[in-house]
Structure 1
Amino acid sequence: MKRLALTIAAFVLLGAGDPATETEHVVGEGETLGGIANRAGVPLASIAAVNGLTEPYSVRVGQKLFIPRQRTHTVKSGDTAMGVANRYKVPYSQLAIANGLNENGSIRIGQKLIIPAVMSQAQVASMTNAMTNAKAPEVPYFRRPHDGPVMLGYNLRANGKGHDGLDFKAELGDMVRAASTGTVIFAGSEPTRFGRLVVIDHGRGWHTAYGHLSSITVKEGETIRAGERLGLAGEAGIATTPELHFEIRKDGKPINPAPKMPKRTGN
């Protein structure tokens, strides 16, 4: 918790009201997180992360959002860690923790240091609670893992036979993206059907699986955000043409992915 609070404290409180400098924003009528991020000049993903928001990033009128802004200092000849701390009027101990400095406070020319803000305990506690209390949604928001058309749809019968996911038509080497944010729990060879397979845990019993990959670009235990690459499409396993087999499962049971994703552009 101490490390989390200090990490949050690296965000600087510059003011309020001006979209270019405000660090707290109260959502107004008709506002979206994307619009707020664009006006503030801060990446949407950064605002979402510090406020514990998940896709589709819905916000409500009157909701208070923290806008993370960060100062940095690039070390120049003659700089010392203590001198940098004094220059920015921050406790040396916080500067050291924020940047992982050793006991000697050694820094090197060209090193970029995070300058932690001196924040009130109430501000730190409020941000910490927003992040700590963020929970996986009951039903994750799923985006399409590939933009190609569906070659074979979901058709699972009561006896467990049939097709338990969607097969997307792909070109060899196409990017395959995570359908939702989560943790990679399997990334390797599955010899009976998929060849190369990635499985992501999205919390609350939700998982997605991505099969027939030509290569895997993530590792087990890695956190991956929605839309990030996890591998490249291929024809590994029993596939006879480049494709992506995609599954959504809840508590181990297959779920039809089609109704849970946005329709393909152009459909």
Structure 2
Amino acid sequence: MGDPRRIVSILLLTAPLAACIPASAPPQRPAPATITPAPTAPLAYDDVTGGDVQPTWTLKPVATNAATVTASTYTVRSGDTLRAIGEMTRAGSEAIAMENDLAPPYTLVPGQRLRIPAGLYHRVAAGETGIGIASAYGADWGEIVTINALSEPYILRVGQRLRLPAEARPLPKKEVDIAARAAAFTLDIDDIATGSQPALAANRAPAAASAAPRRPVTAAIATPAAFTGRFVWPLPGKVIARFGPLAPGKVSDGINIAAPAGTPIHATANGVVSYAGDQIAVYGGLILIDHGSGWVSAYGHAQQIDVRRGQAVKAGDVIGLAGASGQVQTPQLHFQLRKNRIPVDPLKQLPAR
């Protein structure tokens, strides 16, 4: 599912039909990167990564209520909807749609026979997130995204039934070892970009982005309607690691740019901050920005973070300061661009210089 160097913090945080999306006590982790307040926009470290305010995905524990469904067929009756059939059979409506090659708007005809796929299905509760659900069952979030055909904006629906991988299983409480479980479950940028939105009730809308949130935003955040403008360089400096293969068995999903500690990091394009913290240890201080149209940018190794989750930013805005946090020895910025979850070479998207 991407970079194997992922580290966890146990999670709990966040789709409409064909859309989707961390759980248990916060894990032990190495000493955090120094993320200090910005003079012009005070932001305490605790606001981002711990203390009084936990990462969004740890706010809602996951109740492991998964039900085993056996394969069967269902005959559609007048007034039936795909979602109602999923509720009756305890199978996910997304999984039923995939099994029967149904496409939006999922029109059903009385007498139509639907195959109900066997599997283990979790019923999503308010505020639960995809990463949290995955961690609660020891499953890979990326696989859950695939088998449920989830897509942007990856916001789970309260009552939605997610099909889990065949090997998934809830651990009995007496069997749970929090430290061991934390060490076994890892995260990468794609997990956070697609699985950290809290589930919403059907009649609730995601929170609108704000230019300067006064408090950490713990609800699902509305994604930009579409990508606007073009990308700009996040900071000046020499590219010291390029996109693609680095050595046998090692691949970089972005580029690394050398920069003196304290160099301002700029948003590469207009968007909404979807993550700001240090829960992926390899990257240290990390910021993710959703630009809409499937585009996401990532900024790693920051020594200071100056934005909050849910904050609207414009191209060129200062979002933090470069440093050597995470698993690097010298100050630099790790910069990624992703389109529909796939890492792309930033040098092909940034202006020549």
- TM (norm. structure 1) is 0.46
Say which structure, 1 or 2, has more relative contact order (CA 8 Å, 6+ apart): 2
More strand by share: 1
Task: Return the index of the structure with the highest Cα Rg.
Answer: 1
